[in-house]
Structure 1
Amino acid sequence: MDEKRVRVQIADQCAPVLAGVKPSNIVILGEGDAADEIREILVSADICCDLFYEGDGKQMWLFYRKSLIEEVLREEENRDFLKKYGYTDFRLENVMRKVHMHFLDYKLGKQEFPHEIGVILGYPLADVKGFIENKGRNFLYSGYWKVYEDAPRAKERFDLYTMVRSRITSEIAAGMRFWQVAQMEEILFA
């Protein structure tokens, strides 16, 4: 994949994280496609990224903002929920390691998909629980995730994600670098 297409794909899949309005997102790329672009993002912004999975000709990266995930992990109801899935240490690095292990166990057929990752991705806890309880059915609305409670609020969030996605993807396609995007908050929210 050529560099520009990779950059646009990362921008498209990761724009809400780049804009600082979502704690994390998963980006799926072809193997070996993105090393330079990922390094640029890591250098240019308060964003971390872990190679979550590699196989089947693709790489799955988790891009995240430490500060935003730490906010999610400070919420007692999120902690109580994660405890049900074996999380006991809520320091960021330990939670990230545990969710990564659960995902790898899923890929190896040792467990079901770790739906608790929805909390890490910034989905409302009620929607994560609703998805699990309803097995992905009976939702009120579907967009960036399936909504089981408070559809109007979710729609507002989806509109925000779509707006920053459109702006950031357009800027990257026009040649802007990721470090410049990281500094364009005033443009995004003007």
Structure 2
Amino acid sequence: METSILEDQEVFEQLKGMSDWLNKKPCYDGYLIRLLDLIGSTMVGVKPAELLNIPINEGGTKNLALEELRVYFLRDKNIKFREIKKQKGRVQVLFYHSTSLDNALCSKASLRFLRGLGYPEQYSVEGYVDFLVTRLNRKDFPHEIGLFLGYPFKDVLGYIGHPSLKLVKINGWKIYGNDKLSNKRYESFSQARKKVRELISPMVN
């Protein structure tokens, strides 16, 4: 995930597909464009997941931008979202890219850590997303979500208080220990989002 991902053919095809889809729409919902900006790096498979709180239309009806995305996501089995809970006029939504998320979670260290928190012994992306959603619906926030969001394992461990890892800076998230991998990861997310922003920027006005 850290090496020239924006030159990857799959990423290029995803960007092209987004462009074709948007250009066929007769008009653009302003919030849809905003959502595409926020989740752009996940939609092209660079960032495995994104967690957002999205306003619900008055009267509790579905957000139209979410419905537009639901239709778009049918084009690609990798891109999905799960509505988690509604509160105070907003719905919490987890957007994720299945292949990218699988790559983020399937290391031995990550799986050992997650299983220690009660995640299923039998690993599958959807099974682990199901378990995360269950935990997101509880009172205590599941800080292991950092792994799902693509943060380096060391930063997740540091955040939950591993004594050997010291906070060195904040750059997108709290970074602990050697910052080389974290910086590279953050830069890949930023570059992907920039590519999507360049794609949708002519449609903002």
Q: Distance in 2 between matches of 1:19 and 1:162?
A: 12
Q: Distance in 1 between matches of 2:111 and 2:188?
A: 26
Larger Rg: 2
* Structure 1 counterpart of 2:128: 95
* Structure 2 counterpart of 1:118: 146
Q: Distance in 2 between matches of 1:153 and 1:73?
A: 16
Unpaired segments ≥5 residues, structure 2: 1-26, 57-61
Matched, 1:36 2:67: yes
Sequence identity (%): 23
TM-score where L is the length of structure 1: 0.78
* Structure 2 counterpart of 1:183: none
Q: Is the 8 A contact 1:41 1:47 kept in 2?
A: no
Counterparts in 2 of 1:69 and 1:167: CA distance versus 1, 3 Å: closer
Q: Deviations over 1:134-160 (max 9, x none)?
A: 7xx952121221110331332222223
Q: Distance in 1 between matches of 2:105 and 2:186?
A: 22
Counterparts in 2 of 1:150 and 1:114: CA distance versus 1, 3 Å: same
TM-score where L is the length of structure 2: 0.73
Instruction: Give the counterpart of 2:118 among 77, 83, 86.
Output: 86
Instruction: Give the counterpart of 2:50 among 17, 25, 47.
Output: 25
Matched, 1:130 2:158: yes
Q: Distance in 2 between matches of 1:101 and 1:166?
A: 32
Instruction: Give the counterpart of 1:104 among 114, 119, 137.
Output: 137
| 1:1-190 matched pairs, under 5 angstroms | 4-31=29-56, 32-33=62-63, 34-45=65-76, 46-88=78-120, 89-106=122-139, 112-133=140-161, 139-175=167-203
The aligned amino acid for 1:67 is T
Q: Give how far 1:80 is off.
A: 0.8
Q: Is the 8 A contact 2:151 2:182 kept in 1?
A: no
Q: Deviations over 1:4-58 (max 9, x none)?
A: 3212221222121122111111132111322333224312333011112222111
Counterparts in 2 of 1:163 and 1:92: CA distance versus 1, 3 Å: closer
Q: Is the 8 A contact 2:49 2:149 kept in 1?
A: yes
Q: Is the 8 A contact 1:4 1:173 kept in 2?
A: no
The aligned amino acid for 1:99 is L
Q: Deviations over 1:97-116 (max 9, x none)?
A: 1111111012xxxxx21001
Task: Look up the SS of the partner of 1:114 in the other structure.
Answer: coil
Counterparts in 2 of 1:59 and 1:170: CA distance versus 1, 3 Å: farther
- Number of matched pairs: 169
Q: Give how far 1:72 is off.
A: 2.6
Task: Look up the SS of the partner of 1:105 in the other structure.
Answer: coil
